[in-house]
Amino acid sequence: MSNTLLEIKNLKTSFRIGEEYYAAVDNVSLNVNKNEVLAIVGESGSGKSALAFSVMGLHNRAKIEGEIVFKGRNIANLPSKQMNKFRGNELAMIFQDPLTALNPLMEIGRQIDEALILHNKNMPKKKRKEYIIDLLEKVEIPRPKHVYNQFPHELSGGMRQRVIIAIAIANQPELLIADEPTTALDVTIQAQILDLMRELKDDLGSGVILITHDLGVVAEMADRVAVMYAGEIVEIADVETLFENPQHPYTRSLLSSIPLVDDAQDKLHVIHGIVPSLKNLPRQGCRFSARIPWIDESAHEENPELHEISPGHFVRCTCYKHFYFPEENKEEQNHDTAQS
């Protein structure tokens, strides 16, 4: 059997605004292997969460075209009754905000039990409780027996996020989608949660889709990285390649806009312009061209495609060949020091 767990083929997720449909995820193809962390990076509005929600079948009114093949079966547009057999079982999701993802009126134990009972109808109650307490222990919640009967408001943000992770892994999913799992958390807790996710992945051998805008988290966690801009994948590569040899102008701009802890920059790079809204997305040509106006029109392709420039490293549009930063000299030095 092949190693591929999830294969997304030409996925297009569109939302209706007024009378027309606009694609938030446009013609995206990717695959996730077993025991692999695929990070999806991009600014807000780039379509990364829309992609995750499409895979989970959580969009209510979106038009989904293309194929989402999970373990050999196309799950795109599956009715929710059938989808529920996968969801929370083989396919699970960790949500961004631990403060709102839990039911405030339900004890922690019961919330985890919900996920368990749905997919294990024959498990006796006592056994389920034991299992849940084990699970809480696994996500390193102190005094799990006590927490079992507590309500979400009695726990801190980091603890709540652990509970959400416990719910997600209750049925030992084969594919785990984590949508900004640590964005709402402090750095020390973030480090703990990432360690925890890493351990779980190694234990269960699951595939993980990690959605984040934090490139530090990506560098720490991911095996492969897909960079999204305006609904499209603009670059995809393994993590070392992406950080050492980024090619697409958007990837390079993103990397030079983060303040680094061990590198003194006086000025951060600012990406020109703003992320276009869904309605105003350029549907033709290179979608990033409006944000690098100093690059000549002729550098862009008419219908930009992903080019494989080295094995496993894909870049969209030819403009990367001609790209330079407007403040190039200074930037080049920064770039060199960042790499050395």
In terms of CB distance, is 106 or 268 closer to other proteins? 268
- To other proteins, the closest distance from the beta carbon of 288 in angstroms equals 12
| 181's tokens | 């799992």
Q: What φ, ψ does residue 217 adopt, rounded to 5°?
A: -60, -40
87 vs 160, which CB is nearer to other proteins?
A: 160
Closest contact distance (angstroms) between CB of 274 and other proteins is 5
| Least distance from other proteins to the Cβ atom of residue 100, Å | 15
Instruction: Identify which of residues 205 and 216 has a Cβ nearer to other proteins in the complex.
Output: 216
- The beta-carbon contacts of 265-273 under 8 Å, at least 24 apart in sequence, are 265/334, 267/327, 267/330, 269/325, 269/327, 269/331
Q: How many CB atoms lie within 10 A of CB 149?
A: 11
Q: Which two three-digit tokens encode residue 77?
A: 């547009």
Burial class, 277, CB count within 10 angstroms (exposed 0-12 / middle 13-18 / buried 19+): exposed
Minimum CB separation from other proteins for residue 218, in Å? 8
Smallest distance, other proteins to C-beta of residue 90, A: 28
User: Of 172, 334, 162, which is closest to residue 255 (Cα–Cα)?
Assistant: 334
Give 43 or 65: the residue with its C-beta nearer to other proteins: 43
Residue number with CB closer to other proteins (1 or 264) = 264
Query: 226, 40 in Cβ contact below 8 A?
Result: yes
Smallest gap from Cβ 261 to other proteins, in A, equals 5
CB of 16 to other proteins, least distance (A): 21
Distance CA 2, CA 67 (A): 18
**Which CA distances in Å does 185 have to 12, 39, 159, 192?**
32, 19, 10, 10
Residues found near other proteins in the complex (CB under 8 A): 43-44, 156-157, 186-191, 194-195, 213-217, 219-220, 222, 239-240, 243, 253-255, 257-261, 265, 267-271, 274-275, 338
Closer to other proteins by Cβ: residue 132 or 254: 254
* CB of 192 vs other proteins, minimal distance in Å: 8
Q: Would you say 122 or 188 has its CB closer to other proteins?
A: 188
Our CB check for other proteins shows the closer of 111 and 192 to be 192
